[in-house]
């Protein structure tokens, strides 16, 4: 078995889920001087990584850089994890945890970096032997090929505890630039999914960069309707959003990330399952607890589902 894992380092940050977010945080950690080891799903993916030079190629406005990383696979019997970043798609989070949990030492740090709402809390309730944290980020990155990443804007990341064991320990990752403690990570995740639901499905449906939504009359009108419904839901659930309107916040995000491709648009372009069920679907599940129906959000869910049914094979319908 090919393995590049170095078991002697006890402070290593392992990353499971080497997509856009995982590759971005591998670079952040490496530049901060933290040891990093990538966990790939199987030997075939590990061989592909070795063939690519055992590293990740990053492209930004300042040029291109290649950063090597040690790597291993989930099949490595010697794998021992103290600090783990789970950067999978939200619909794969539970399965990823089950695949790796026996490798994590009791009391280890699990940091969840994924979209959606409800999946973080569910995993935290199952992972009581570990310190479970959620991170919410506005950083962007676009990945069109394995182990290649185009860096977009470097936003802010908020981190907070999801279980009692985490609250008794020191916060991890605060040595990384623009990483801060969240005063209320539940509220942070709620606000993040509200903004994502306003932007991601619409960019995927119309195939627009974030900034282009603001100048596309049909897309903008739909974002306006979706935001209004989510604000009604927030009131019904007594889960406050922002001091200004959700629409204005979504507009601001579109402007500051104008050149970004949302993760849902990248999923469509790469014929991957999106996180529509864990974003819009999660809001509709919450609405079922009230008298609200959110018809505009429901229509978006239906349309994205229809696109995925046409473009993805049954084995790739990860969120269904």
Catalytic residues: 192
State the CB neighbour count (10 A cutoff) for residue 278.
23
Distance CA 14, CA 22 (A): 10
Q: Collect all residues with Cβ–Cβ distance below 8 Å to 99 and sequence separation of at least 6.
A: 74
What are the respective helix, strand and coil percentages of the chain, to the nearest 5?
45, 20, 35
The structure tokens listed for 65 are 């850089």
Residue 251 C-beta-side C-alpha neighbours within 13 Å: 12
Helix (H) or strand (E) holding 314, with range, is none
User: What is the torsion angle, in degrees rounded to the nearest 10, for the CA atoms of residue 146, residue 139, residue 279 and residue 250?
Assistant: -140
What is the spatial distance between Cα 265 and Cα 274, in angstroms, rounded to a whole number?
8
Beta-carbon count within 10 A of 67 CB: 15
Q: Which residues are CB-neighbours of 170 under 8 A, at least 6 positions away?
A: none
């Amino acid at each position: 078995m090919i393995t590049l894992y170095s078991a002697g380092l006890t402070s290593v940050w392992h990353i499971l889920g080497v997509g856009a977010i995982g590759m971005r945080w591998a670079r952040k950690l490496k530049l901060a001087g933290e040891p990093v080891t990538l966990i790939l799903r199987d030997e075939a993916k590990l061989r592909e990584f070795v063939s690519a030079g055992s590293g990740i190629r990053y492209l930004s406005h300042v040029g291109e850089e290649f950063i090597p990383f040690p790597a291993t696979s989930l099949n490595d019997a010697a794998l021992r994890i103290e600090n783990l970043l789970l950067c999978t798609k939200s619909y794969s989070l539970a399965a990823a945890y089950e695949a790796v949990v026996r490798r994590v030492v009791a009391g280890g740090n699990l940091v969840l970096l994924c979209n959606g709402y409800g999946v973080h809390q569910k995993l935290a309730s199952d992972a009581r032997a570990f310190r479970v944290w959620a991170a919410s980020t506005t950083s962007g990155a676009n990945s069109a090929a394995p182990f290649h990443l185009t860096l977009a804007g470097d936003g802010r990341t908020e981190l907070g505890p999801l279980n009692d064991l985490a609250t008794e320990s020191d916060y991890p990752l605060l040595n990384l630039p623009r990483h801060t403690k969240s005063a209320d990570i539940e509220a942070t995740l709620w606000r993040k999914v509200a903004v994502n639901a306003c932007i991601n499905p619409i960019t995927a449906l119309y195939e627009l960069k974030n900034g282009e939504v603001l100048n596309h009359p049909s897309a903008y009108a739909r974002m306006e309707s979706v935001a209004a419904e989510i604000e009604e839901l927030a009131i019904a659930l007594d889960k406050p959003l922002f001091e200004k309107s959700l629409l204005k916040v979504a507009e601001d995000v579109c402007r500051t990330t104008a050149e970004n491709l949302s993760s849902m648009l990248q999923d469509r372009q790469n014929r991957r399952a999106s996180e529509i069920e864990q974003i819009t679907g999660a809001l509709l599940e919450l609405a079922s607890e009230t008298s609200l129906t959110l018809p505009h959000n429901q229509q978006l869910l239906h349309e994205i589902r229809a696109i995925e049914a046409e473009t993805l094979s049954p084995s790739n319908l990860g969120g269904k």
